[in-house]
Structure 1
Amino acid sequence: MKLPVSTEWVLHCTTTLAQLDPGTTASAAQLALYFDLPAAYLAKQLQALTRAGLLAATTGPRGGFRLARPTSEITLLEIVEAVAGASPPYECREIRQQGRGALPPEDCQRTCVLAEKMADAHEAWRSSLAGVTLADVLATLPASVPSRTRRRLAATT
């Protein structure tokens, strides 16, 4: 499975926003400069996170984005699905019933074992990401990182 490049962007941006002091925001332009990303495209991804209820956006000269919920209530799965969608990456088209090698219908009463295994793998991936919150990610960062992030992000204004 290949996720869009914007998946990495939003994972890092939400982790960065999670390091800000309460009530503090960062604009799309600040985040784009901080990570050297295209601002207009990043803004669209941040809006997707806002529509998903993960970020809150404010307008005006001091406007920007902040987390809409506590870090312990935002999972990596929610972030990924906000930009990449929730559709399974594998779709069984039942080719086992086509062509010269077609199995008879009576041998295809059960779901294709390959479709089952792919669905199991997708569910394991989803469960893994659903079990990790932004709070979990922050807990793994060295103690100096949040203050460094705040200083450097503030310098991009």
Structure 2
Amino acid sequence: MKLSEGVEQAIHSVAMLASLEANQVLSAAALAEFHGVSPSYLLKHLQALSRSGILGTVPGPKGGYHLAQTPEDISLLDVVLALEGPEPAFRCKEIRRNGPNPVPEGFFKAPCQINAAMLRAERSYRAELRKVTIAHLLAEVRQDDDGTLAARSCAFLDANVRITNQSRQH
């Protein structure tokens, strides 16, 4: 299975937004700069996260993005589904029915065994992603950080956070 680059960018962006206080936002441009990615490409993913209810937005020139849910309530699966959609990665086209010398339709009453195996794998994959929240990831990073990562993030946030007068709760 191959996920788009946007999934990595989205997870990192959500993790960074988790450190903001209730009256703070970050612009898409600032998030793109911090991660060294294309602003227009990241913006597309931030909009998908907003549509899914993971992120909230504050419009205007001093606006930006913030979490619309708590980090404990956002799983990796939530982010993946927001960007990639709910469809399974494997989509059976029933090609076993194609080709020369077709067999009777009665042979195909049971689901394709390949499709069944792939769907079992998809359920396992999704169950694992559902278990990992943004809060879990941040706790692991803090545990492994000697202060270097925190200092880098804090310095960037100090220079780029926007204060908004819109109150929000998550």
In the superposition, the TM-score normalised over structure 2's length comes to: 0.82
Report whether the alignment pairs 1:82 with 2:82: yes
Separation (CA, whole Å) in 1 of partners of 2:102 and 2:157: 59
- What is the letter of the counterpart of residue 34 of structure 1? F
Per the alignment, residue 35 of structure 1 pairs with 35
Separation (CA, whole Å) in 2 of partners of 1:76 and 1:108: 36
> Which of 138, 149, 155 lines up with 1:151 in the alignment?
155
Does the CA contact (< 8 Å) of 1:77 and 1:129 recur in 2?
yes
- The C-alpha deviation readout for 1:78-99, integer Å capped at 9, x for no partner, is 1111111111121222222222
Per the alignment, residue 105 of structure 2 pairs with 105
Per the alignment, residue 21 of structure 1 pairs with 21
5+ residue gaps, structure 2: 162-170
Shift of 1:147: 5.2
Does the CA contact (< 8 Å) of 1:88 and 1:119 recur in 2?
yes
CA gap 1:100/1:61 in 2 versus in 1, 3 angstroms: closer
Does the CA contact (< 8 Å) of 1:75 and 1:133 recur in 2?
yes
Does the CA contact (< 8 Å) of 1:19 and 1:149 recur in 2?
no
Residue 96 of structure 2 aligns to a residue whose secondary structure is helix
Separation (CA, whole Å) in 2 of partners of 1:120 and 1:28: 37
Separation (CA, whole Å) in 2 of partners of 1:139 and 1:104: 57
Separation (CA, whole Å) in 2 of partners of 1:151 and 1:102: 66
Identity %: 35
Residue 56 of structure 2 aligns to a residue whose secondary structure is strand
Does the CA contact (< 8 Å) of 1:96 and 1:103 recur in 2?
no
In the superposition, the TM-score normalised over structure 1's length comes to: 0.89
Report whether the alignment pairs 1:68 with 2:68: yes
Does the CA contact (< 8 Å) of 2:26 and 2:160 recur in 1?
no
Separation (CA, whole Å) in 2 of partners of 1:93 and 1:10: 30
| Total equivalences in the alignment | 157
CA gap 1:146/1:56 in 2 versus in 1, 3 angstroms: farther
Does the CA contact (< 8 Å) of 1:33 and 1:156 recur in 2?
no
Per the alignment, residue 117 of structure 1 pairs with 117
Q: Compare 84-93 and 139-148 and name the one that shifted more.
A: 139-148
Per the alignment, residue 46 of structure 2 pairs with 46
Separation (CA, whole Å) in 1 of partners of 2:56 and 2:150: 20
Residue 86 of structure 2 aligns to a residue whose secondary structure is coil
